[in-house]
Amino acid sequence: MSVFSELPKHLVRYRPAGSAHLDDELKNLAEGKVFLQKLSLQNDQTEGRPQRLKCSTAELMDLSRRLIQGSGNTLGHSHELRQAGINRETTRTYLAKRRKWQKKFISIAPKHIRIACFSIETKDNEGYMWREYGSNGCGFRLHFSFNQDVKPNRKSFWIRTHYSHPRERRKISEAELLAAEFQINGANVFANKPSQWIGILQAFAACKPSKWAVEEELRLTKFSLSPSTKPKDSYIAVPPYSLSGVTFGWNADQDLINKVKQNLGDDLDYFFQQEP
Inter-residue contact 253 to 141 (CB < 8 Å): no
pLDDT of 84 strictly over 80: no
The helix-helix angle for 254-264 and 22-29 (nearest 10°) equals: 40
Residue 138 has pLDDT above 50, yes or no: yes
Residue 227 is predicted with a pLDDT of 65
Whether pLDDT at 5 is above 60: no
Which DSSP helix (H) or strand (E) runs through 198? Answer: helix 194-205
Compute the mean pLDDT over every residue in the chain, rounded to the nearest whole number. Answer: 87
User: Are 75 and 187 in contact, with CB atoms under 8 Å apart?
Assistant: yes
The number of C-alpha atoms within 13 Å of 153 and in the hemisphere containing its C-beta is 15
CA–CA dist 232, 248 (Å, integer): 26
3-state helix vs strand vs coil in the chain, percent to 5: 40, 20, 35
pLDDT of residue 2: 37
At 145, is the secondary structure helix, strand, or coil?
strand
Distance set, CA 19 to CA 129, 130, 134, 157 (Å): 17, 15, 11, 26
Whether residue 193 is predicted with pLDDT greater than 90 in this model: the reply is no
